[in-house]
Amino acid sequence: MPILNILRYPDARLHKVAAPVTVFDESLKKLVADMAETMYAAPGIGLAATQVDVHKQVIVVDVSDRHDSLVVLVNPEIVEATGESDIEEGCLSVPGIYELVQRAERVKVRAHDQNGKAFTLEAQGLLAVCIQHEMDHLQGKVFVEHLSQLKQQRIRAKLAKQLRKSA
Ligand code: GNR
Ligand code: NI
């Protein structure tokens, strides 16, 4: 199965808003399988469809060390968020940048799996933060956009320099 190309910030396609999934078919299952493979290969602990230029509300997450706890969230909605967490975040679309972002410590999420079955997940800690990070991607928001304008400017300069060096 193919590893998908991950868009790099800044890219206007990372700002598209994902549409809800309405049909739970084989192509959705293939997308989920390819996204999981891409996330594990990267390696990362989460991936939103937006990052692979598919603008549908699909997320895969696995915060386990053994890669045995895949969570698939289709059309996720946060129904409860409590507490405050500031975990240093990274993003596969913003390589080499790690920054603290304010998030809820616990979230209750309603979503569907890749078969269309509805479920509710209660998450805390890194899993909760990762889900919030991925749900931002579906809304067209990259984690650096939670930071000050000055920090964002510095990050863009650093990424441009990385790109020049690799060219
Ligand atoms: O791999 C990832 N690690 C991570 C660490 C802290 C908070 C969020 C994340 S998500 C990130 C993968 C990614 O870019 N998902 O969109
Ligand atoms: Ni990300």
CATH number, domain with residue 110: 3.90.45.10
Query: In the block, which residue shows the tokens 């863009």?
Result: 156
Mutation to probe ligand 1, out of 54, 85, 89, 97 (largest number of atoms < 8 A from CB): 89
The average confidence (pLDDT) of the chain is 97
pLDDT in tens, 26-57: 999 999 999 999 999 999 999 999 999 999 99
Residue 100 lies in a domain: yes
Domain count, the chain: 1
Rg (CA), the chain: 16
Q: Calculate mean pLDDT across residues 71-93.
A: 97
pLDDT in tens, 128-161: 999 999 999 999 999 999 999 999 999 999 999 9
**Buried b / exposed e across 54-66, counting CB within 10 Å, b at 16+?**
eebbbbbbbbeee
Q: Which domain holds residue 117?
A: 12-166
**Residue 126 structure tokens:** 């890194």
Residue 120 lies in a domain: yes
Q: Is the pLDDT of residue 1 over 80?
A: no
pLDDT at residue number 60: 99
Ligand in nearest proximity to the CA of 143 = 2
Q: Is the entire prediction scored with pTM above 0.75?
A: yes
Residue 6 lies in a domain: no
167/156 Cα distance (integer angstroms): 16
Mutation to probe ligand 1, out of 4, 63, 85, 92 (largest number of atoms < 8 A from CB): 92
Helix/strand/coil (H, E, C) string of the chain?
CCCCCCCCCCCHHHHCCCECCCCCCHHHHHHHHHHHHHHHHCCCCEEEHHHHCCCECEEEECCCCCCCCCEEEEEEEEEEEECCEEEEECCCCCCCCCEEEEECCEEEEEEECCCCCEEEEEEEHHHHHHHHHHHHHHCCCCHHHHCCHHHHHHHHHHHHHHHHHHC
Cα torsion through 96, 55, 116, 68, rounded to 10: -20
- Work out the pLDDT band at 167, boundaries 50, 70, 90: confident
| Neighbouring residues of the ion ligand 2, judged by CB less than 5 Å | 91
Ligand in nearest proximity to the CA of 101 = 1
Q: Calculate mean pLDDT across residues 104-128.
A: 98
CA 83, 86, 87, 90 torsion: positive or negative? positive
Residue 5 lies in a domain: no
